[in-house]
Amino acid sequence: MAKCQQCGKGPQFGNNRPWSKKATRRRWDVNIQKVTIMEGGKSVSKRLCTTCLKTATKA
């Protein structure tokens, strides 16, 4: 299961709703990217969502 290692954000679940209104289950996955970042003076490989990547570049 895809989960961000910084914020813990995971997939969300819901229904497909076609014109006939018949509900079938689906999921929205988080946009997870594998990146190497500097943490405490060392380079660390993490799997982060793109929202966390945006805030990491600003800090």
pLDDT digits (tens, 9 = 90+) for 1-59: 689 999 999 999 999 999 999 999 999 999 999 999 998 999 999 999 999 999 988 76
pLDDT of residue 58: 78
pLDDT of residue 57: 82
* DSSP conformational letter for 46: E
Tally of domains in the chain? 1
Q: Are 55 and 9 in contact (CB under 8 A)?
A: no
pLDDT of residue 59: 67
State if pTM tops 0.85.
no
- In a domain, residue 23? The reply is yes
Question: In whole angstroms, what is the distance from residue 26 CA to residue 15 CA?
Answer: 5
Question: In whole angstroms, what is the distance from residue 12 CA to residue 6 CA?
Answer: 17
- In a domain, residue 33? The reply is yes
- In a domain, residue 19? The reply is yes
pLDDT of residue 54: 94
Question: In whole angstroms, what is the distance from residue 42 CA to residue 18 CA?
Answer: 49
pLDDT of residue 31: 96
Q: 43: domain range?
A: 12-58
Please report the sign of the dihedral spanned by the C-alpha atoms of residue 12, residue 26, residue 54, residue 46: positive
